[in-house]
Structure 1
Amino acid sequence: MGVNDGTVIGSELLLDHGSPIDRWNLTLVSEGYTEQELPNFRLHSLEFVTLLLATPPFAGPSAAINVYRLDVASSQSGADDPAPCGTGATADTFFDARFCANGLDRRVLVVDTTLALNTVYAELPWSHAILVIVNSPSLRRHGRRCRHHDPSPQGHGHRSPRARPQRVRSGRRIRLRQHL
């Protein structure tokens, strides 16, 4: 599973408030969406931007934010849900999303962080924060709307387009979101 289980389709600027050099740039990335399901991801991304702009502190200084969408098609829908804490189901996805990452709690949802960072920075090197939206019905059955995992400290500051992904380990974040 991994990079051989999908393809990067392309990116689009969803919220444009100026040059990425002068703005804080958020990138939304699809995971577990097949190519046929990418229109759903586009809709989910727009819904996220609408909610983001209605949520403090983003409701005020939105002119300082750009939001990008990176369409990545996976071979199969969803995320791995390994036993013993899950159903044992597997899905061939680009970033290898999986629940139960710690082997104890099914709510722990992760992706291959290095692959996600490298993929985003290859397409959108000015990204300051990355949100991976995972397409999976697994948590919907339990009435949970959103789960996320932040593997690194919160980042601050500007990222140069020429900077290498290795420089961001101490400062950038990736979040995973379970979307309905």
Structure 2
Amino acid sequence: MNCKSIFTIAFVLISYAGFGQVNFDRYFENKSLRIDYMMGGDSNSQTVFFKQIKEEPNWGGSKINLVDKFGYGTFRFKLIDEASEKVIYSKGFNSLFQEWQTTAEAQKIKRAFYQVNVMPYPKNKARFVLESRKWDGSMEEIWTYNIDPKNYFIGKENPASVPFTKLMGKGDPDKSVDIAFIAEGYTKNEMEKFRADVKRVAGYIFDVPPFDRYKKRFNIYALESVSEDSGTDIPGEHIYKNTAVNTTFYTFDVDRYLTTFDLKSLHDISANVPYDQIFVLINTDRYGGGGFYNYYSSCSADNALSYEVSSHEFGHGFAGLADEYYSSEVAYEDFYNLKIEPWEPNITTLVDFEKKWKDMLKESTPVPTPRTEEYINTLGVFEGGGYMSKGIYSPVQDCKMKSNKMKHFCPVCERAVEKVILFRIGE
């Protein structure tokens, strides 16, 4: 490990030391509580509809770092102990609903999206609080639900059994990053291919720093969810397949955007193992993928660019990294408020640049930094990012979060990923 990595780890550990975390054994049992709900609305509104609450047998998260310290995500949920009013668990996340709200369609109709939040199972009465980020960057409470762990309406059925193989890792779930790879578009006779695909795609991710340095702290599960048909939906070509978690190209009518709206099936399958992150591996050679912070990442298994796409999408899902491109086709309109600092660690509006990567810049680097040959290999502040050519700035002229030309993350993205790894493994 080089000096830079040692310094980064020391910095992160010192920064976490100032935050008080809760005692897991005092507040929680070693299993999960899952809350499912629908989030609906349009470009100007959102409403939450309760669906179900259930107990699940595994807890894959840290038992040390339970309260989120990053402030990432367009949404956040908190679990508050009723007796003490103490926040005992919290987590930020992104959603397809929030992305859809910025599309032209959301100005015309209302839609509802299935949501799932998973947390450790509380021993005592608690309050679930769901928050949404407003246009000014602040968080507002949009829904609460009171939880009595002894309530007999909390479903306790075992998850539908899905065969799985632990392909990599020997660490305890609470001290490791556990990734549940979901088979999508693989028939019963294609599971040998699926296991080989998981090893290969996980290898792609571990080839990229800083994942390579922490490979032994990851557990990789291959969950063999069987699809009736091989492949996935391609609506723009009138191709429709019956698959395990109902993935589809042409999400929001963007042909390469490969996602699923079926978060219920996704979490039903994942409940068979302890997990921190879900990765949907899709049995197709067509280019595509997607990633949603603290929900899931997805990509094609067999495309020529799957090496590049897998870690790019995992950067979204695992570390909350933003897209740094600004000229590609997207469905979003006015995605960022240029008057505030975006929460993602790898883009800035310069409104509060002190909180981003200013500490990593050389004193001689101009801010903003021109996109010229002189600064082609310089860490700087280059205009363009987050789907916008003006007002948003990114750390380098090209990065894995911008294009498929780059094999590795830039230093800013790498540092952000490392912080999340250390948080998840409880260090």
By the TM > 0.5 criterion, same fold? yes
- The size of the alignment, in residue pairs, is 142
Q: CA deviation at 1:17?
A: 2.8
Asked if structure 1 preserves the Cα contact closer than 8 Å seen for 2:162 and 2:269, the reply is no
Residue 30 in structure 1 maps to residue 183 in structure 2: yes
1:163 is matched with which residue? none
Asked if structure 2 preserves the Cα contact closer than 8 Å seen for 1:26 and 1:129, the reply is yes
Q: Pick from 248, 255, 266: which aligns with 1:106?
A: 255
1:93 is matched with which residue? 243
Could you say if the C-alpha distance between residues 8 and 71 of structure 1 is closer, same or farther in structure 2, counting changes exceeding 3 Å? farther
Asked if structure 2 preserves the Cα contact closer than 8 Å seen for 1:27 and 1:70, the reply is yes
Residue 39 in structure 1 maps to residue 180 in structure 2: no
Asked if structure 2 preserves the Cα contact closer than 8 Å seen for 1:8 and 1:71, the reply is no
Asked if structure 2 preserves the Cα contact closer than 8 Å seen for 1:101 and 1:109, the reply is yes
1:176 is matched with which residue? 298
Deviating 4+ runs (over 4 angstroms): none
Matches within 5 A, 1:1-180: 9-82=162-235, 86-102=236-252, 104-111=253-260, 112-121=262-271, 123-124=272-273, 126-137=274-285, 139=286, 144=287, 147-151=288-292, 153=293, 172-180=294-302
Deviations 1:136-176 (A, max 9, x none): 24x2xxxx4xx32123x3xxxxxxxxxxxxxxxxxx22111
| Counterpart residue type for residue 90 of structure 1 | Y
Instruction: Please give the alpha-carbon distance, in whole angstroms, between the structure 2 residues aligned to 1:25 and 1:16.
Output: 9
Segments of 5+ residues of structure 1 without an aligned counterpart are 1-6, 154-171
Asked if structure 2 preserves the Cα contact closer than 8 Å seen for 1:8 and 1:72, the reply is no
Amino-acid identity (%): 21
| Counterpart residue type for residue 255 of structure 2 | R
Cα-Cα RMSD: 1.7
Asked if structure 2 preserves the Cα contact closer than 8 Å seen for 1:9 and 1:71, the reply is yes
Task: Report the 3-state secondary structure (helix = DSSP H, G, I; strand = E; otherwise coil) of the residue aligned with 2:195.
Answer: helix
Q: CA deviation at 1:16?
A: 1.7
Instruction: Please give the alpha-carbon distance, in whole angstroms, between the structure 1 residues aligned to 2:266 and 2:170.
Output: 25
Instruction: Give me the TM-score of the superposition, normalised by structure 1.
Output: 0.73
Task: Report the 3-state secondary structure (helix = DSSP H, G, I; strand = E; otherwise coil) of the residue aligned with 1:74.
Answer: coil
Deviations 1:121-149 (A, max 9, x none): 2x01x200111001124x2xxxx4xx321
1:164 is matched with which residue? none
Instruction: Please give the alpha-carbon distance, in whole angstroms, between the structure 2 residues aligned to 1:109 and 1:53.
Output: 22
Instruction: Please give the alpha-carbon distance, in whole angstroms, between the structure 2 residues aligned to 1:114 and 1:49.
Output: 24
Segments of 5+ residues of structure 2 without an aligned counterpart are 1-159, 303-427
